[in-house]
Structures are given as structure tokens and as C-alpha cells.
């Protein structure tokens, strides 16, 4: 299903502003269609719990909303709650087995706007947050997020780069790729 041969794991070390060391682990692979993107996201959703945050990065048209639709399906969001990009609304909430908060920060210029709108509270709430253009909120996001960067290779294929920095996500990533290969 998914070509996992690009880069198995590539850890790097980042030194934070307070002098801490953070090991970032990355995994890269290619999905060959929108369907594969959504199926991958559905498997990711099977490992999500309240309080988890997925940060989506990538150019317009890279598949961020398709990925979120797959997460919604995996969280059993009813079909009558069609998932669309909240570009103008900034946030949509969907009710599944776990609430899904879908953010799109593309139109926001400063992190203060996110704070003023009260969205920061949802990062620590009872649901799962999927944030498109999450790099615009990087300084206020919890450190234990899963980041997924989607790059356009051609009309159908996307390179997916996943990065994380804590043991809990490592266990989830192991479970996700175990499900993908079975």
C-alpha cells in the first residue's frame, strides 16, 4: 500500500531556547493517491486519544484536508458532518467517538490572534486537534505534537514526512506502521 523505503528513521537533535535538548525523530514515505492518504490518516486516528495534536504542514493542495477527512472517518465522525477546510471559519468541530477540532491557521498572521480567539484552550481539551498551517502557532503549541508534512510529488503522489519527539508518539507510530504492513 504505502512505499516506506525513502527514509526509515532519521533522528536529529534540536537545542531549545532554554538550553534543553530535544530529539526529533522523522519517518518518510510516499502515498500514491488521495485514497492512500485518507487510509493512512484513518489508521493514525485509531491510535489517537483526547489531547493529541496533529500539526499539518504543506503547500496548498498537498492533501492536508484529505488527511483530516481520513482522521474524521477513523474517529467515526458521522457522514452527515462532511469535513471541509475551515479556511474562513478558522475552526470546525466534529463529533465522533472523540471530538475532532479541525483548525486552519492559513489566514492568521500572528500567534496573538490564536490566543485572542481562545483556541489555545482546545489544545489541552477533551478532543483531538488537527491543525493545518500549524507552523503559525508553533510557539504556543504543546511540545508533544505529531507533525506531518505533505509534499506534492506529482498529481497523485505525496511525500509524507512525520516527526515527533516523545516516547508516547514513538509507541503510536510503531503501532500505526505495524497496522500498515499487515
CATH topology (fold) of 3-181: Rossmann fold (3.40.50)
* pLDDT per residue rounded down to tens, the chain (182 residues): 554 443 444 444 444 444 455 667 888 999 999 999 999 999 999 999 999 999 999 999 999 999 999 999 999 999 999 898 877 788 999 999 999 999 998 888 788 888 888 888 888 889 999 999 888 888 888 888 999 999 999 999 999 999 988 888 999 999 999 998 87
C-alpha to C-alpha distance for 38 and 56, rounded to whole angstroms: 14
> Does the CA dihedral 36-84-123-141 come out positive or negative?
positive
Q: How many CB atoms lie within 10 A of CB 18?
A: 5
Report helix, strand or coil for 34.
helix
C-alpha to C-alpha distance for 2 and 50, rounded to whole angstroms: 27
> What is this structure's pTM?
0.85
Amino acid at each position: 500500500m504505502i512505499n516506506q523505503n525513502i527514509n526509515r528513521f532519521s533522528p536529529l537533535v534540536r537545542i531549545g531556547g532554554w538550553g534543553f535538548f530535544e530529539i526529533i525523530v522523522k519517518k518518510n514515505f510516499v502515498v500514491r493517491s488521495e485514497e492512500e492518504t485518507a487510509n493512512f490518516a484513518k489508521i493514525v486516528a485509531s491510535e489517537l486519544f483526547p489531547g493529541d495534536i496533529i500539526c499539518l504542514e504543506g503547500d496548498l493542495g498537498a492533501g492536508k484536508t484529505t488527511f483530516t477527512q481520513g482522521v474524521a472517518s477513523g474517529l467515526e465522525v458521522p457522514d452527515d458532518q462532511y469535513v471541509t477546510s475551515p479556511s474562513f471559519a478558522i475552526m470546525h468541530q466534529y463529533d465522533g467517538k472523540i471530538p475532532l477540532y479541525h483548525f486552519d491557521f492559513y489566514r492568521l498572521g500572528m500567534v496573538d490572534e490564536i490566543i485572542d480567539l481562545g483556541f489555545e484552550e482546545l489544545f489541552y481539551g477533551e478532543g483531538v486537534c488537527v491543525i493545518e498551517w500549524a507552523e503559525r502557532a508553533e510557539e504556543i503549541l504543546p511540545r508533544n505534537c505529531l507533525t506531518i508534512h505533505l509534499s506534492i510529488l506529482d498529481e497523485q503522489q505525496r511525500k509524507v514526512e512525520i516527526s515527533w519527539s516523545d516516547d508516547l508518539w514513538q509507541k503510536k507510530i510503531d503501532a500505526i506502521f505495524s497496522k500498515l504492513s499487515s
